[in-house]
Amino acid sequence: MTYEPVIGLEVHAQLLTRSKIFCGCSTTFGASPNSHTCPVCLGMPGVLPVLNRSVVEYSLRMALATHCRIAPYSQFARKNYFYPDLPKGYQISQYELPLARDGWVEIRTEAGIKKIRIHRIHMEEDAGKLVHDEYQPVSYVDFNRTGVPLIEIVSEPDIASPEEAATYLRTLREILRYLEICDGNMEEGSLRCDANISLRPTGAKFLGVKTELKNMNSFKNVQKALEFEIRRQSALLERGEPVVQETRLWDANRNITVSMRGKEEAHDYRYFPDPDLVPIEIDADWIQTVRSSLPELPDAKRNRFMDQYGLSSSDADVLTSSRSLADYFEAVVRAFPQPKTAANWIMSELMRELKKDDCEVEDCPVSPDNLVELLSLLDSGTVSGKMAKGVFEEMYATGKTASTIVAEKGLKQVKDAGTIESLVEEVLSENTVEVTQYRAGKEKLMGFFVGQVMKKSKGKANPQMVNEILRKKLRG
């Protein structure tokens, strides 16, 4: 029998607000342990949480960008469990009344556009971090991350393959980054993903027994863990053995999932409404304000790039893969209205250099204006295409402008017919044997003559003119 997977993802995104969700402490990553703490986030006796309004706004952005229905009235709840990184003994989250429900995003699959429905989006606080001593049986707690705001985005089980899961996750990340509410870094944990997966006979309508997968800290691992789990579950089903409902951890070293806890050991979180926080009421005005502040989202931008600039869908994909890259492209095109040339330069030269340095386009040493200047020099024939590439590398390395580099290196193209003629004559007189051969019909030698002239001009002669003049002289 063949089986098909049914997959749903729970994605946690750390929000980029300046302060924590329930106190004024900084959310900056990487400070010395416990330096970003106060009695409130440390859960000291007697303290109370106060909701950070920006967290609601950031969450609303994502909810609106994913077409969710915003609850006019939502509520925080306590999720109770003991762990040393959880100072209050409960996490403030949302349970019965989440901020938003019933949204969707579109992902692009090989078979075309597919809608993945969003079940809910809710707000919650992050926990701290345990640090285990390598040499002694001692553990330390760092509460800097405690209270950093998170949203949890729960999909419906609409995902049909590990590839789709990865695409869905990338799509969410793209949106989060476009909205500038999450940096989307999976390795650093600012974007985290758990997956629920079950198998059923292909075409069946019922759902099989699912497992929950955790600990996948990259796109690749999400895909690999799901692939492994499909193999594992289908082997069980093939043998007629049941799949056990449980939570499994992805072991990236061994490339397998291992059982973490079964259904019986599952926590009873004893959720109940947090009496320290009043319900969140969101009116139509607030929703409208947030909606009108939303930037153009990846899908819309991609389509517009195709329509407005005549780009291919794959070029539009690349150029809209981040909001800053798209902005860069548009800044260039505004001053240099040849979209295809601009696109090619950005996708090949610029992105190659950025990739070499592992650098983001925001930090690119070549500003859009500088690239425009170079492209204009190329367009006017002041520099050749080949030279322009060299100039670009120099611009990237030194931050200098194209015209400065061209002037400094005397790279201006030679377009003076007299100068080129005398170079051609020199070459012809130095290579009489080849001239004779050429005239006898060995026309392949043309390339050789051009090369010699270019060499003499240190590459500055206009190649078209060199060709023309050579042809004329050789005929004569």
Partner 1 sequence: MDLCGLTIHQLRELLTQKAVSAAEVTSAYLQRIQSIDSKLHSYLEVFAKEALKQARDFDEGKRDFNLSPIAGIPIAVKDVLCMRGVRTTCGSRILENYVPPYDGTVIEALRNAGAVFVGKTNLDEFAMGSSTENSAYCQTRNPWDLDRVPGGSSGGSAAAVAANLCAGAIGTDTGGSIRQPASFCGVVGLKPTYGRVSRFGLVAFASSLDQIGPITKDVKDAALLLQILAGYDRRDSTSVQSPVPPYGERLEESIKGLRLGIPREYFVEGMDPEVAEAVEKSIRICGELGAEIIEVSLPHTEYGVAAYYIIAPAEASSNLARYDGVKYGLRTPDCRDLLTMYRTSRSRGFGPEVKRRIMLGTYVLSAGYYDAYYRKASQVRTLIRKDFLEAFQRCDALLTPVSPIPAFKVGEKSEDPLQMYLSDAFTLPASLAGVPGISVPCGFTSQGLPIGLQILGPHFREDLILRIAHQFQQATPECRRTPPLNEDP
Q: Which positions touch partner 1 (CB under 8 A)?
A: 39, 42-51, 78, 80, 82, 84, 87-90, 141, 268, 270-272, 275-278
209 vs 277 by CB, closer to partner 1: 277
- What minimum distance in Å lies between the beta carbon of 89 and partner 1? 2
- How far apart CA 196 and CA 213 sit, in angstroms, is 6
87 vs 368 by CB, closer to partner 1: 87
- What minimum distance in Å lies between the beta carbon of 373 and partner 1? 53
22 vs 250 by CB, closer to partner 1: 22
Amino acid at 381: G
Provide the strand spans (E) within 202-325.
Answer: 211-216, 246-251, 256-262, 272-273, 280-281
CA 234 from chain centre, in angstroms, equals 32
Helix (H, G, I), strand (E, B) or coil at 27: coil
- How far apart CA 297 and CA 76 sit, in angstroms, is 29
- What minimum distance in Å lies between the beta carbon of 278 and partner 1? 5
- What minimum distance in Å lies between the beta carbon of 113 and partner 1? 40
Structure tokens at 296: 């153009």
For Cα atoms 364, 366, 372, give the angle at the middle one, nearest 5 degrees.
Answer: 135
Structure tokens at 68: 């969710």
- How far apart CA 231 and CA 250 sit, in angstroms, is 14
Amino acid at 133: D
- How far apart CA 76 and CA 99 sit, in angstroms, is 9
- What minimum distance in Å lies between the beta carbon of 142 and partner 1? 12
- What minimum distance in Å lies between the beta carbon of 42 and partner 1? 6
80 vs 467 by CB, closer to partner 1: 80
82 vs 135 by CB, closer to partner 1: 82
Provide the strand spans (E) within 139-245.
Answer: 139-142, 149-155, 191-201, 211-216
- What minimum distance in Å lies between the beta carbon of 273 and partner 1? 8
266 vs 284 by CB, closer to partner 1: 266
49 vs 339 by CB, closer to partner 1: 49
Strand partners, 89: none
